[in-house]
Amino acid sequence: MKKAFITGFTGMVGSHLTDYLLEHTDWEIHGLLRWRSPLDNVSHLLERVNEEDRVFLHYGDINDEASMHHILSQLKPDYVFHLAAQSYPLTSFDSPVETLNTNIVGTCRVLETLRIIMQTDSSYKPVIHVCASSEVFGKIPKEKKPETGIHEDCPFHPASPYAISKVGTDLLGRYYAEAYGMTVMTTRMFTHTGPRRGDVFHESTFAKQIALIEAGLIPPVVKVGNLDSLRTYADVRDAVRAYYMLVTMNPIPGEYYNIGGSYTCTVGDTLHTLINMSTMKNQIKVETDPERLRPIDADLQVPDCRKFKEHTGWKPEIPFEQTMEDLLNYWREKIKKMGVTLTR
């Protein structure tokens, strides 16, 4: 039986990827679990973990070299999905050093550990996915944005410490493929969302605030940042299907792909879509919160995904409205269980 190892297992993408692999493969799924990681996103998997039914947890941290070597040398997974990161752009302005260390040095630890294991066992040849981000392209002037969208070879212009860290992640993946012949592919996933999305991201904090308003826990005011930024949305469930296809459909060492949805709108349009789904849509007001504004914003995030689509045949399937409805319902259910919670 093949084995997949997922860093960032407890995150939105890692948990959905696990769900997808359980349904569509017979692989064992091995997740990296930090000692302090919340288990909310994987609570539905814990029974399988307890019964050792294809899902296994390994305590460790990409910032801890010893734990990475111990886990990977014993496990020798066939597939590695490196998703773990400090993944919040706004947070990175307050914690730039932690962001750079986790995302660049942490990625290097994962890849270097695998390289050393491969060096001692020449028969071991894992397929590795390194998850970078569309944020590497950053703030592209409107007059310089290609008509077909941002393609793989557009220049990087990172607009946050997070984006800078993902440039390092991106280049490390390609370096290990080119220097050591490792089968490493890098992805720049554009905005992807859905159930379990963290509340530091704009569409999720909108949905969370609306759900809190509906529950009568906060006044009918949604606080927002920059509503003019343009985003192209994919559903997280389409995104993890893309990641599976990446590692199973003729993986090419050193390749890098832009992946994203097909629905493009402003952040403000996304807000109004969610408000219009609310039972209190006529009472909700919108208020700009200066603390939600980035010092500099990546504001034209529209991808050209032809390279990946031509290689794999992947295309997004879940409509934007369905994604937003599922996200809002996720927060409604979560707040019903939790009650009062932070608004951001």
- State the number of CA atoms in the 13 A half-sphere of 4 facing the CB: 28
Helices 202-214/320-338 angle, 10° precision: 50
Identify whether 268 is part of a domain: no
Secondary structure element (H or E) that encloses residue 184, with its range: strand 183-189
Cβ contacts of 192 within 8 Å, gap of 6 or more: 13, 233, 234, 235, 236, 238, 239, 260, 261
Q: Is residue 187 part of a domain?
A: yes
pLDDT of residue 246: 98
pLDDT attached to residue 111: 98
| Amino acid code (one letter) for 274 | L
Phi first, then psi: give them for residue 294, nearest 5 degrees: -80, 150
The answer to whether residue 225 sits within a structural domain is: no
Which residue matches tokens 């017979």?
26
Structure tokens at 98: 């932690």
What is d(CA 125, CA 129) in angstroms, rounded to the nearest whole number? 13
Confidence at residue 295, expressed as pLDDT on a 0 to 100 scale: 63
Predicted local distance difference test score (pLDDT) of residue 145: 72
Nearest to 97 by CA among 161, 24, 146: 161
Which amino acid belongs to residue 332?
Answer: R
Instruction: Report yes or no on 199 lying in a domain.
Output: no
Strands 192-193 and 263-266: unpaired
Please indicate, yes or no, if residue 44 is contained in any of the structural domains: yes
CATH number at residue 107: 3.40.50.720
Containing domain of residue 35, as a range? 3-194+235-260
Domain annotation covers residue 60: yes
Residue-level length of the chain: 344
pTM: 0.95
As for how many domains the chain has, the answer is: 1
259, 236 Cβ separation under 8 angstroms = no
Sign of dihedral through CA atoms 112, 117, 121, 127?
negative
Residue found by looking up tokens 């390194």 in the block: 130
Residue 103 lies in a domain: yes
334 forms beta bridges with: none
Beta-strand (E) ranges in the chain?
3-7, 28-33, 55-59, 79-82, 127-131, 183-189, 192-193, 221-224, 230-235, 256-259, 263-266, 285-288, 300-301
Can you give the pLDDT at residue 293? 67
First-to-last CA distance in the chain?
42
- Which tokens in the block code for residue 111? 């890849």
* Sequence-distant (≥ 6) Cβ neighbours of residue 37 within 8 angstroms: 10
- Ranges in the chain, pLDDT < 70: 144, 293-300, 339-344
pLDDT at 230: 86
Q: What is the pLDDT of residue 344?
A: 55
Tokens of 215: 């529950």
pLDDT in tens, 62-90: 999 999 999 999 999 999 999 999 988 88
Q: Are 216 and 193 in contact (CB under 8 A)?
A: no
For residue 15, give both structure tokens: 């948990």
Is 111 inside a domain boundary? yes
